[in-house]
Structure 1
Amino acid sequence: MDTILNNGIELLLMLFIIITFLQSGIDKVVDWKGNLSWLNEHFSKSILAGTVPLLLGIVLVLELICGLLAIVGIYQLLSAGDSTMAVYASLLSGLTLLMLLFGQRVAKDYAGALTIVCYFMVIVIGLFVLRS
């Protein structure tokens, strides 16, 4: 019980990453065509128009890795009090969010970009906690 109490913020951050990224990655796998169709339209008038399938695949892989690293991070936090994998999960999550932010800005979807900034702030604050 002490481990959970002593690592509560870190564990909540890992659960946030799992919910955010693993769910999103699974959704892309389950509804690839729907996601691809929406994104093709979303980026149709941008410099990314011809690269949407490749970029969607890259984001899918990164999201799944983020979620899996967070699961391992939870295990390490609970079993050994080690935050190494939690830090890796958070760093990769931040980089993934920056990629998504870039896409939203290129598509001139400023409201979507703002949403990503909210997620990014959670990750950055979490990294401060993990590194202290």
Structure 2
Amino acid sequence: MENITTNITEILILLFILITFLQSGIDKATDWKGNTGWLKEHFSGTMLAGIVPLMVGIIMIIEIITGILAIAAIFHIIAFNEPLFALYTCVLACITLLMLLFGQRVAKDYAGAFTLTGYFIVSIIGVYILS
């Protein structure tokens, strides 16, 4: 119980990342056709138009890995007071968000890019706290 109270900020950030990325990755897996269809239209007329399924697949895998890593990180913090997986999770979340930001900027979806800022702030605070 002491590890929970001592590391509550880190655990809450990891829970945020877990919910955000695992849900998003699972959504891409369960609604592949809907996601790729919408994104093909979103990226039409850009240099990324021809590789939408590849991009969605890569992002989906990274999001699911990030979510699973968050679960492992929470376990390691609670059980062993070990934050290394937590740092890896936050770094991977930041990298994933930068990939998403790149896509939004290429698609000239500036409002969509802006919405990623909040997620990035939470993730980078996690990196800051854990490093």
Q: TM-score, normalised by structure 1?
A: 0.97
| 1:32 partnered with 2:32 | yes
- Cα RMSD (Å): 0.6
Correspondence list, 1:1-132, <5 A:
1-131=1-131
Counterpart of 1:82 in 2: which secondary structure?
A: coil
Q: 2:98 & 2:117 partners in 1: Cα distance? A: 9
Q: 2:85 & 2:4 partners in 1: Cα distance? A: 16
Compute the displacement of 1:3 (Å): 1.1
Which ranges in structure 2 are unaligned for 5 or more consecutive residues?
none
Which ranges in structure 1 are unaligned for 5 or more consecutive residues?
none
Question: What amino acid is the match of 1:77?
Answer: I
Counterpart of 2:45 in 1: which secondary structure?
A: coil
Q: 2:23 & 2:99 partners in 1: Cα distance? A: 18
Question: After superposition, what is the alpha-carbon deviation per residue over 1:25-81, rounded to whole angstroms, capped at 9, x for unaligned?
Answer: 000111000000000000011110000000100000000000000000000000000
Q: 1:9 & 1:38 partners in 2: Cα distance? A: 36
Counterpart of 1:54 in 2: which secondary structure?
A: helix
Runs of 4+ aligned residues of structure 1 deviating over 4 Å after TM superposition are none
Compute the displacement of 1:117 (Å): 1.5
Identity of aligned residues (%): 55
Q: TM-score, normalised by structure 2?
A: 0.98
Compute the displacement of 1:24 (Å): 0.2
Q: 1:29 & 1:49 partners in 2: Cα distance? A: 20
Question: What amino acid is the match of 2:26?
Answer: I
Question: What amino acid is the match of 1:102?
Answer: F
Compute the displacement of 1:83 (Å): 0.5
